[in-house]
Amino acid sequence: MAPLPIRLYPDPLLKKVAQEVAQWDSSLQCLINDMIETLYHSPGVALAAPQVGHSICLTAIDVSRSPRAGENHGLIILINPRIIQWEGEHRFREGCLSVPEFLTNSVRAEKVRVKALNRNGIPQEFHCEGLEAIAVQHEIDHFEGKLILDHVRSPRDLFRRKER
Ligand code: NI
């Protein structure tokens, strides 16, 4: 296991539509372990496989370390996730490990129900709210080649991040 280098905007891989995961083999398990380690070495709360050079629908999310986290599931691995229910709407200021210099305002659902496969290929469903719901929506954007910069509608939605 080793933390992986994180690709930064404007790396073209971040703009690609990711492929669904179809094979549950040891290289997938290895990648998942490396992504978990990379996530915990980073200041972020979620990491999508395209950010570490794999254009597949796989993400590791753990918002529990954030002071902004509400109720959450701790570490979750989502493979081929689909949001099946959205509720509410709020404007949220978010960052991305691949866009380290900026924060942006985006409009997101407050709560989502997401269906995904876990690391063993077993279907599961999570009801997520608050920061965890934002993270799920943010990660699925990564699979569609979308970054937080794509949510910027006006210069007032873009903020330069202070050093961290
Ligand atoms: Ni991101």
Q: What is the pLDDT of residues 47-102, one digit of tens each?
A: 999 999 999 999 999 999 999 999 999 999 999 999 999 999 999 999 999 999 99
Total Cβ atoms within 10 A of residue 110: 15
**pTM (2 decimals)?**
0.96
31 CA → ligand 1 middle, Å: 17
- Minimal CA–CA distance to 135: which of 50, 88, 52, 78? 78
Q: Which domains does the chain have, with CATH numbers?
A: 12-160 (3.90.45.10)
Residue 76: both structure tokens together = 């979750």
22 CA → ligand 1 middle, Å: 23
Catalytic residue set: 139
Ligand 1 is an ion; residues with CB less than 5 A from it: 96
Residue recorded with tokens 């539509």: 17
126 CA → ligand 1 middle, Å: 20
